């Protein structure tokens, strides 16, 4: 279900869908970073996973982040760089929220 949730949010194999949550996120992220969407940010990460349908296999599942997965590595790395917790609106929390059918925590 997590891949379908990502597709439903507008992150699809053919690109970001106009008028979707994905396009809104991309616009906000581009504005905040001075015009471009940064590599490794929530939008680029979700689009990469949406294009390949790899959200679930990366460890972002509808029941949480799988231990020992790419997702758990991302979460650990992000937590370490933020003093021990994953920030609201960060890449890990946003990808996990959308993979569970949420709106991304922004």
9 and 105 in contact (C-beta within 8 Å)?
A: no
Q: If we measure between CA atoms, which residue out of 90, 103, 105, 96 comes closest to residue 21?
A: 103
Helical residues (DSSP H) of 9-105, grouped into ranges: 21-32, 42-52, 70-81, 91-99
- The predicted pLDDT at position 27 comes to 95
Q: Tens place of pLDDT for every residue, the chain, 106 residues?
A: 688 999 999 999 999 999 999 999 999 999 999 998 988 889 999 999 999 999 889 999 888 899 999 999 999 999 898 888 888 888 888 999 998 888 776 5
Please state the domain extents for the chain: 1-100
């Amino acid at each position: 279900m997590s891949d379908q949730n990502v597709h439903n949010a507008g992150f699809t194999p053919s690109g970001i869908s106009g008028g979707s949550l994905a396009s809104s996120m991309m616009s906000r992220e581009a504005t905040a970073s001075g015009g471009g969407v940064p590599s490794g940010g929530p939008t680029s990460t979700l689009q990469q996973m949406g294009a390949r349908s790899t959200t679930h296999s990366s460890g972002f599942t509808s029941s949480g982040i799988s231990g020992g997965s790419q997702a758990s590595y991302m979460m650990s790395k992000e937590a370490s760089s933020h003093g021990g917790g994953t920030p609201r609106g960060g890449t890990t929390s946003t990808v996990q929220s959308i993979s569970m059918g949420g709106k991304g925590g922004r």
